Structure formats: structure tokens, C-alpha cells
Amino acid sequence: MASLIELQEIPSKNMILLVGPPGSGKTTFCKQTILKSLAMDKPIIYVVTEYGPSEAEKALKEQGLGDVERGLLNYVDAYNETVGVAVTDRVDTVYADCNDLSSIDIAITKLLEQIGRKDVLLVFDSLTSPYLFGGSEILRFMRKTLSRFTTKGNAVVASIDEGCGKPEDLVAMRSIVNGIIETDIENGKKVLNVVKHPQIEPTRIEVQVTIPPRIVSYLYDIDYLRREMELMVKGAGAALRPEVGDLINIAWRDLVFWSGMLWDPKRFPTMMYELTKYSEDASNFPSEIIPLRVKLLFKFMPKSYSKVKDMRKFMNTIMRFKPEEHGMAIFEYLEDVSKTDEHYIRLREQRLECH
């Protein structure tokens, strides 16, 4: 049975396509392939379309990238110009635009000439953005640029999001490449299905997902938070958002959430959980803006909200700040039907008058 390490050894004169939903491990596979190739002194041309070279380099270092000999790791930045972000020039980077596939072709050719040798690995992460901009033109680009790159003794691994385009275009992409690896997540494991490969028989490889502990930091606007905290404590003051007022219809928030679910029903709930689980900890807030009485409030709050009496204490405290006056729903803790580790809260949306 083939191993993950074997899959990450992209054979020369071949193009391998990674296909899978967002979050299924395509970018991780690309980065691990880069690290393995660098360890073998194989030059890399890393085409990035959904993040910049700085972000890519940071992620590679987190996965073990050390000092790299100059000229071994090169970038085609097809992200920053596409989104209109001005960045400082890098000596290892040539810039391009996803709107213009010929600019990516020129950038790849320029870097290949600078490297001046064969057996270069081109990692293209990902083809999704160029496809969304250019549609079926991506097929011509793959046939003209990427296939030509492999015929010169080099290798290509490229990724694309499953279902991002017309089925006939994705079928055509599969016909162009020499190998297809489908990625997915099933039962907490990353799964790689080798559909076809120039050296490996069709097989299925499962990789246990290991989620490292995350340290999330937030950049707070101290002045805004100080004013918001003062309003919370005093229950009065000028609107923080004078253009629209502080009372915003909750339907807009729900629209954002449902749009996120339609965009990526597998990952969006996890993303929201990761986003909010740290921010709910009061220790994340800069201590100098929290009034003393609020600090004491957090200090004497229950350590656990498992029992009904502890949750009741917490909800009574929340309601003391009158959240309905700050554009939130009206809270009501249903003590009669709640029980240990099972709490019921009724939220009633306010009726707002628009003038």
C-alpha cells in the first residue's frame, strides 16, 4: 500500500491534481510536499493565489521550514495584485494577477530561467481563483503553461476546490493531468483517494487529523471598547455607531450566518466556534479598560455553569446590564425546565421602529 510520503514525491514530467472541498487538506499536502522536496535540494516555484508569500512562508516555518539556500524556494504572488494590496518587493518573488493568466505564465517562465536547472517542482495553490476569474481559459493555461513546464523535466502539483466550476471543465482538467488525488475529511480523519497516478496503484490513505493548541490574539480598539464598557456600566450615552444607531436588526446577522452555512456547511460551524470560544474569556480583554466592579463580577462568577443555580446566577447578572438596551435580544432563563447540563433560554427579538 502506498504511503503519504510516496504521494508527496511528485515524479518528474508529471502533473498531479488535488481535488477536494475547502478545508480537506489540499494546502497542507502542498506545503508538506514543498518541505520534502526542499530536503532533497529540489528547487520550488510556489504559486499562491489565495494568500501571500509572507503567509505561506510563515505556515511553512510552523511546519518545520528552516534556513533555505537562496534560489531554492521561489514564489509567484498571484494574490496581492489580484486583491489590490500593495506589498514590499521580495527578491524571491515575481508578481502576477489571477485576472491575467498570461502574467502567471510569464512569472513562471522568468523564475524557471533564474533557477537555470531541471527537476523543478511547481506547486500551484490553487487553480480555483484563476478559474473563477477566467473560466474555461484555465484549461488552455494548464495545457499550454503547466504541461509545457513538465515536458522540460519538471513536475507540477496543483489544487482546485471540488465543485467550484462547470462539471465539464473539471472533467477536462482531470483528462489533462497525469495523476488525480481526491481529498476529504471523514470521521475526524483526512482521506486521500488516489484515483490515478503514474507510479502508484489506486488506493486510499487515511491520516489522523491532529489539531494543535491555538493561541488566538485580537487587536482591540481601546477607545471604542472603553466607551462601550462605560455604556454597559452606566446604561446611557451617545450611540457608538451614529450612522446607523446601536440597534441593528438581528436578521442581518442571521443572513451572514446562513450565507456561511451555504458557502461551506462542513467547515463554517467549526470556524465560528474557533472564532468565538476564546473571545468569550474575559481575560482576553485589556485589563485597563474594565471597570473594577466588572472585574470583581468576573472574579466571583461560578467556575462551572453545569448546575441550574449557577446558570441562573450568570443569567441574572447578564440581565442586570439590560442587554436589550444595547441592541441585543431580551433574555429569559427558563429555570423550571432546565436541569444539570441542560439549560433553556428564551430570546425575544425586539420590535424596532425605523424613522
What burial class does residue 40 get, using C-beta atoms within 10 Å of its C-beta: 0-12 exposed, 13-18 middle, 19+ buried?
Answer: exposed
- What is residue 177's three-state secondary structure? coil
* DSSP assigned state of 289: G
Q: Which grid cell sits at 240?
A: 457608538
Mean pLDDT score, 309-313? 84
For residue 101, the one-letter residue type is L
Please report, in angstroms and rounded to a whole number, the separation of the first and last CA atoms in the chain: 69
Q: Quick: pLDDT tens for 29-57.
A: 999 999 999 999 999 999 999 999 999 99
Q: Is the dihedral of CA 93, 99, 103, 109 positive or negative?
A: positive
Between 43 and 318, the more confident residue is 43
Q: How far apart are CA 324 and CA 60, in angstroms?
A: 46
Ranges for all domains in the chain classified under CATH 3.40.50.300 = 4-208
Reply yes or no on whether the pLDDT at 198 is more than 90: yes
For domain 4-208, give its CATH number from 3.40.50.300, 3.40.50.720, 3.30.413.10, 3.30.300.30: 3.40.50.300
Q: Is the dihedral of CA 254, 256, 259, 260 positive or negative?
A: negative
Query: CB-side exposure of 341: number of CA atoms within 13 Å?
Result: 0
Q: Is the dihedral of CA 234, 240, 246, 248 positive or negative?
A: negative
Q: Quick: pLDDT tens for 237-289.
A: 555 555 555 555 556 667 777 787 887 777 777 767 656 554 444 444 455 44
